[in-house]
Structure formats: structure tokens, C-alpha cells
Amino acid sequence: MYIIPGWILGANLAIMSKKTFKLEQMFGSKTRAHLLALFLQHPEESFFVRELTRRVSAQLNSVRRELKNLVELRLIVEKIGPDKVTKKLSEKKKYYTVNTNFILYEDLRSLFQKVQILLKQNLVQEIEEKGRVDYFAFTGRFVDAPDIPTDILIVGAIKQADLEKMISKFEAEIPYEINYTLMPKAEFLDRRQVADRFLFSVLNGEKVVMIDRLHP
């Protein structure tokens, strides 16, 4: 029998303010929220504990505690892998993967996809408030296009220090590092005119355009 915890039943996007929204507000723990985001975004992957601590930037004990809770819930599956030297199963080689047969798996996947949309909207809004944005597009890893050399393209004028702070806060919520490109409007127009390889790899590739004041 599944006992569904309150942090799942109580998750509600509608009550979250765009200005203050954070994943831990929905799931009660920053580490838990980031682990869930990582597992649900990569259902085909398995992770060792120390890899998880690095990926979600959390303390080892905190990760272990949340993994224990998620395994007991049956949302995450714990497995034991072989030692590289002895080839025998070892308790030290435990790894974890999401249970795609979990009763609320698809619901949670859908919820986190909506969360990602909200976080992206927040980022765009914050950047617009800090400077002039003529073009903004999510690409690269956001659209499963690893060959594209950037994940965010911003054309406009904004202080680099302000942008770095906002990107860092965004990375902490996702949670993973991203590559972004800030380009002044004049440079964008010049590079587009000469069919710059980098720029055209973005413009001709998969992307989600949030702002476009450059194309009538």
C-alpha cells in the first residue's frame, strides 16, 4: 500500500507567487526538490550518492536522508552494483534510479515540467526588469539539443554582474549548470549579416523564443 506524503498532495502551483517561487516551497526541502527534479528529468539514468551530492550541491547526509525517504515511498529504487575490481556486489556501490512504475510518476513528471516553465518565466521577467532585452531564447539542453553551443541566448543590454546573479539563482533551482550568451544588439545584427556560424546554429536550431523584438 502506498502512503502518499503531504508534500505531494499539497503541491499547488496556483498559490505560488512568481516573485518568490522556489522548489522547496512545494516539497518542504531544497535537497528533496532538487533530487526529484534530477530524477524526473533523467528517468533513464542511474546515480551514485556522491554524484547526486555534486549534481544537487547538497551535503552528503542530507542527500542520504532524502534518498531513504524516497526509497521508502518507492518513488526511487535503490540498487547495488558490482565493484570495479572484484566484480562482486558491494554495499558501497549503491546507485539510485526513478521508479517509472510509481503510481504518481506521470503526475510528478507533469508537475515538474510546469515548474520548469514557471522558473523560466521568472528568469525572463527578472532579466527584463534589470535591462533591455531584444531577444531571449532557451535552446541547447533546454530543448534536448546538446550540439547547440549555448543554452540561453540573450540579445540586449544588461549589466554582466546582474545577469550572473540571476543565472546563478536560476541554476540553483533547476538544478544544473547552464551556458548562456549575452550579445549586444549591434553585434547580433553584424553577426547575422555575415552568417556567423555560432549565431546561425542557434537561430536555425531547436529553441523556445521568449522575447523577439528583432524580427517584425
pLDDT of residue 167: 94
pLDDT the model gives residue 23: 58
Given the C-alpha cell 529504487, which residue does it identify? 77
pLDDT of residue 42: 87
Distance CA 178, CA 145 (A): 13
CA–CA dist 171, 185 (Å, integer):
25
Cis peptide before 175 (omega within 30 of 0): yes
Q: What is the pLDDT along the chain (216 residues), one digit of tens a residue?
A: 444 454 444 454 444 444 545 655 567 788 898 899 889 988 999 999 999 999 888 899 999 999 999 999 999 999 887 654 555 555 567 899 999 999 999 999 888 888 888 889 999 999 999 999 999 999 998 888 889 999 999 999 999 999 999 999 898 887 778 999 999 999 999 999 999 999 999 999 999 999 999 976
- Per-residue buried b or exposed e for 39-69, using 16+ beta carbons within 10 Å of the residue's own CB: bbbeeeeebebeebbebbebeeebbbebbeb
CA–CA dist 201, 206 (Å, integer): 9
Q: Which long-range contacts (CB under 8 A, 24 or more apart) does 18-22 make?
A: 18/118, 18/121, 18/122, 18/125, 19/122, 21/118, 21/119, 21/122, 22/173
The cell for 56 is 544537487
- HEC secondary structure over 36-86: HHHHHHCCCCCEEHHHHHHHHCCCHHHHHHHHHHHHHHCCEEEEEEECCCC
pLDDT given at position 114: 84
Q: Do the bridges between strand 76-82 and strand 89-98 make them parallel or antiparallel, or are there none, so unpaired?
A: antiparallel
Rounded (10°) CA dihedral 140, 141, 146, 150? 40
pLDDT at 17: 44
DSSP 206: -
Contact 126, 165 (CB under 8 A): no
What pLDDT score was predicted for residue 117? Answer: 86
Q: Which three cell numbers stand for residue 187?
A: 553585434
pLDDT in tens, 195-208: 999 999 999 999 99
| Model pLDDT, residue 112 | 85
| pLDDT confidence of residue 86 | 54
Q: Which pLDDT belongs to residue 103? A: 92
Q: What was the pLDDT predicted at 156? A: 96
pLDDT score, position 131? 94
